Chains A and B, each alone.
Chain A
Amino acid sequence: MKISWIMLLLTLVIYIVTAFFNSDVALASLQKSFEIIKSIAPIIVIVLFLMAIFTTLVKPKKMVKHIGDDSGLKGWMIAVFGGVLSHGSTYIWYPILSQMRNEGAREGLIVAFFYARAIKLPWIPVMIAYFGLTFTLLLSLYILVGAVVQGIIADKFVKVDLIKKL
């Protein structure tokens, strides 16, 4: 929260300094900023509702207990879709996933979970507004496939590493 306010204060200072040297540039910049706010304000309301829905449905502790070492296809599904549905800062997930890994969860599943988090469901409306529906769907699809492929590669690297250690 502190950083948010510092950032806003810094931006205000930059605007004041700019206005001091060139008021036209400061005014034009303000105008452009208001145009951006006007275009994304309705989407932000949708984002707010989506965030609440996903936070209600997905609970970190319940999800990670299903991505154990012998979870098979179910493990992949939960890792990938759990990553997509997981909400909030990565810091929330780091300690839980790290603990799971120490208790024997597959590295590949954790890698897949991390990559699938690139799909930020609540922010999808903003992405569609900027890049279009087709782009958003294609990118999301390739991220899902990419998450699984990366998981498989990571598992192979772990095996090679274990053999070397033996």
Chain B
Amino acid sequence: MFSYKHFKEVLNNTKRSFFMIAPMLIAVIGLVGLLQTVLTSEMIHSVFSGNAIYDMFVGTLVGGVSVGQPFVSYILGGELLKEGVSLYAVSAFILSWVTLGVVQLPLEWSLFGKHFTIIRNVLAFVFAFVVSFLTVMTLEVLS
């Protein structure tokens, strides 16, 4: 049941949590601004080949080793897209950012065991490709 009193309490807690991540948000935006100035389009394009499969692989790897709130991946992904990086790569990047967690692996391993951790992460890796590919393909067919 939705209670207004409880909602107000939670809203206050959420505000507090938000102010806790605000320095990180400002830092990330500051770094993105700096990278946009320093990195040229040619530099970014040298990492991404233009081949959908290879670009998705790079996007998945970079997203998988990155950590942070999902909005960071949206901001970075959105800026990469503006620089002309393919949507295949950007989709794989934002997807693996939240589904793969190299940093969280030891904790997952200790709580769920080797078997579960390997299966879940291999599936998440493969599906970063599958879901990204299907999403962009469908988007291209629809537009």
Residues of A near any B CB (own CB < 8 A)? 1, 3-5, 7-8, 10-12, 14-15, 18, 25-26, 28-37, 40, 44, 47-49, 51-53, 55-57, 90-91, 94-95, 97-98, 101, 107, 110-111, 114-115, 117-118, 120, 123, 126-127, 129-131, 134-135, 138-139, 142-143, 146, 149-150, 153-154, 157, 161
Contacts and interface: CB of A to CB of B under 8 A. Distances in A.
A4 B74 contact: no
Nearest to B138: A138
A1 B16 CA distance: 11
A118 B18 contact: no
Contacts of B40: none
Contacts of A35: 33
Contacts of A143: 95, 131
A29 B23 contact: no
A69 to B, nearest CB: 15
B65 interface: no
A32 B83 CA distance: 14
- List 9 A-B pairs, minimum CB-CB distance, nearest first: A33-B33, A130-B78, A32-B33, A8-B23, A4-B24, A98-B111, A52-B11, A29-B34, A4-B23
- Classify the interface of chain B: helix, strand, loop or mixed: helix
Q: Which of B13, B20, B26 has its CB near the most chain A CB atoms (within 10 A)?
A: B26
Contacts, number: 176
Given A5-B23, A52-B11, A91 B107 contact: yes
A74 B37 CA distance: 51
14 contacts: A7-B24, A25-B37, A30-B30, A32-B33, A56-B6, A94-B108, A110-B112, A123-B74, A131-B78, A135-B139, A142-B130, A143-B95, A143-B131, A150-B123
Interface residues of B, number: 63
B44 interface: no
Contact of B13 (A7, A55, A135): A55
A91 B74 CA distance: 21
A14 B139 contact: no
Q: Which of A3, A44, A101, A139 has its CB near the most chain B CB atoms (within 10 A)?
A: A139
B2 A56 contact: yes
A33 B34 CA distance: 8
Contacts of A94: 107-108, 111-112
Contacts of B10: 52, 55-56
A135 B141 CA distance: 12
